[in-house]
Amino acid sequence: MKALKRMFAPKEVRAILGVLDEADYRFDCPAFTMIKGAIENLVLGAESAKIAANVRKGISPRQSVYSWIVNIAGDELETGRHHLHRGILNPMGLGVDLLRIFDAAGDELVQIGAVDADYAAKQKAGLRKNIENEG
């Protein structure tokens, strides 16, 4: 079903899915598979037309995808489900990869000019503080 939705999606949505596939190749891990599924459900779901309109208004597909990656990875890490103990991510689970993905996606947003380096650094520090408090 997703394949049909992808094929008949607006060109802006297909552009987003192309960036998402590129990110999947870049990160290539089970943690990203979870993130990719959530983003696919978002862009191929009821909000598809709204997302396409945002791209037409000038929000780049790359900025959209990497912003979603940062948000999903950060939200998932803040749940505490990926902790071995308070402040310690489970090395056998998805947590370490989620943190790596969060950092890399934040760096990508800085590189494309979507956010400045100070903002990204504050986001990374805030997430690490939340990781210390959860678990």
List per-residue pLDDT tens for the chain, 135 residues long: 677 777 778 899 999 999 999 999 999 999 999 999 999 999 999 889 999 999 999 999 999 999 999 999 999 999 999 988 888 999 899 999 999 999 999 999 999 999 999 999 999 999 999 999 876
Task: Tell me what pLDDT residue 120 has.
Answer: 98
Task: Tell me what pLDDT residue 1 has.
Answer: 62
Distance CA 83, CA 123 (A): 19
Residue the block writes with tokens 């396409």: 52
Distance CA 88, CA 9 (A): 41
Task: Tell me what pLDDT residue 25 has.
Answer: 98
Distance CA 84, CA 17 (A): 33
- Return the SS3 of 44: helix
For residues 91 and 62, the answer to whether their CB atoms sit within 8 Å is: no
CB pairs under 8 A, 24+ apart, for 51-59? 51/12, 51/13, 51/16, 52/10, 52/11, 52/12, 52/13, 55/12, 55/13, 55/15, 55/16, 56/12
Residue ranges covered by each domain of the chain: 2-133
Task: Tell me what pLDDT residue 89 has.
Answer: 92
Task: Tell me what pLDDT residue 10 has.
Answer: 87
